[in-house]
Amino acid sequence: MTSSDLFARAVRVMPGGNTRSTLYIPPVPPYAASGEGAVVRDVDGHEVLDLHGNYTALVHGNGHPVIGAAVSTALADGACFGLPTRHDVALAERICARVPAVERVRFTTSGSEAVMMALRTARAFTGRTTVLRFAGSYHGNYDGVLDLGARGLTPGAASELLTVPVGDGKAFAAAVTAARGDLAAVILDLMPNRAGLRPLDPAFVALVRDVTATHDVLLVVDEVITLRLGVGGMQERYGLRPDLVTMGKVIGGGLAVGAWGGREDVMAVLDPREPGALAHAGTFSANPLSAAAGTAALDLLDEPTIARLNAYGDDLRKRVAALGYAVSGSGSLFRLLDLNGAADWWRLYRGGLLVGGNGLCALSTVMGTDTVDELERRFAAARGPG
């Protein structure tokens, strides 16, 4: 069964032949067959080094044995229950111990859901409705954070959203001051991927924290992608303590997951022991398999491991830039800014490199110095005519 065969079947049952628009590479995307460590094989027999990591989620690579064992053990007890389990308690303990701003946490099945619930929590706590986001930042599929021109977005959702340029302190402060009577939250990504994966200026981040605190507006930091950059996420680099944090990807060990958490008093609006509590459900929220995988993944992702991985990423990014690529990012995350369409993507793929369709790349802990050397060699080879 080839990728072309699978795509021919797919177009008969899914719009455009896929269920994740971000994975469509024309004319026919390659279909994965298996993965091990830093390598992915497609059904056509082609092997690539995995710099995609399912959009950064696979921080420990493909099929890590410790994570696999944790999932197998949990599955032996049952895939899911209509009761809480020890696994969600363990994962919650890990997150609260790592991220100082997260005093209480709740789980979802995706980062998009985590953002949705974080903003709903902010609205419930403040009694206000408006949310401010920064232009070019992506926070998932939730209507309340999409670009105003997004197809299918209702006028009602658009009316509750303010958008200002990222990094523009004057515009931000003016927008918060004007809307403070109805502004529930500001959502901030410290290194927004779709805005270029460039770390924000610390002075701007400090301004955002000061202005939100002054006007009693909740600051939500989106760490769905960036949590991998430090034990406490990227926020620890900035000395930042937000009111709420959204998380995903690496906290699931490769399984579906999302989470949001923050100040105890803010998260208390979800306490079902209190009258009028904000309802939050989700059949697969805190699924024991995801929670067990996430606990194992976080235990593997300790401070020395993160430091080593970030050092490899910083080194590779410099090497790739020296080859003539335009790159951005920090630590184990980087982006190819001059990846222009499918032809460039296919050139890399045929050269043995799997990257995101928008050029997003992520290293994994199964990579070492030899892998970095090989990645540099393949990037160099891919500069030639394709």
Asked whether residue 229 carries a pLDDT value surpassing 90, the answer given is: yes
Specify whether 104 is located in the same domain as 54.
no
> What pLDDT is attached to residue 155?
79
Residue range 297-350, pLDDT digits in tens: 999 999 999 999 999 999 999 999 999 999 999 999 999 999 999 999 999 999
Residue 248 has pLDDT above 60, yes or no: yes
Same domain, 92 and 174: yes
For 125-167, the DSSP string reads: HHS--EEEEETT----S-GGGS-TT-TT--HHHHHTEEEE-TT
Considering 138, 142, 312, 325, which one is annotated as catalytic? 138
Are 126 and 165 in the same domain? yes
Residues 171 and 294 in one domain: yes
pLDDT range class, residue 385, cuts 50, 70, 90: low
Same domain, yes or no, for 239 and 118? yes
Which of the following is catalytic: 222, 238, 243, 349?
A: 222
> Which of 257, 281, 300 delimits the end of a domain?
300
Q: Could you tell me if 148 and 209 lie in one domain?
A: yes
CA distance linking residue 92 with residue 102, whole number of Å: 10
- In the listed set 300, 325, 354, which residue is the last one of a domain according to the structure? 300
CA distance 353 to 382: 9
16 and 73 housed in the same domain:
no
Q: Are residues 51 and 146 in the same domain?
A: no
Q: What is the structure's pLDDT at 154?
A: 80
Active site residue 249: yes
Residue among 238, 249, 325, 349 flagged as catalytic: 249
Q: What is the CATH number of the domain that holds 39?
A: 3.90.1150.10
Contact 259, 108 (CB under 8 A): yes
Same domain, residue pair 152 and 87? yes
Which of 272, 300, 328 is the endpoint of a domain?
A: 300
**Residues in contact with 45: Cβ distance below 8 Å, sequence separation at least 6, in sequence order:** none
Same domain, 18 and 79: no
Q: CATH no. for residue 157?
A: 3.40.640.10
- Type of residue found at 166: V
Tell me, yes or no, whether 271 and 313 share the same domain.
Answer: no
- Cα gap 174→373, rounded to integer Å: 48
At residue 323, what is the residue type? Answer: L
The average pLDDT across 277-303 equals 97
- Look at the chain and report how many structural domains it folds into: 2
Q: What is the pLDDT of residues 36-90, one digit of tens each?
A: 999 999 999 999 999 999 999 999 999 999 999 999 999 999 999 999 999 999 9
Is 222 catalytic? The answer is: yes
Instruction: Tell me the residue range of the domain where 151 lies.
Output: 65-300
Say if residue 98's pLDDT is above 70. Answer: yes
Examine the domain organization and report whether 45 and 76 are in the same domain. Answer: no
- pTM of the entire predicted model: 0.96
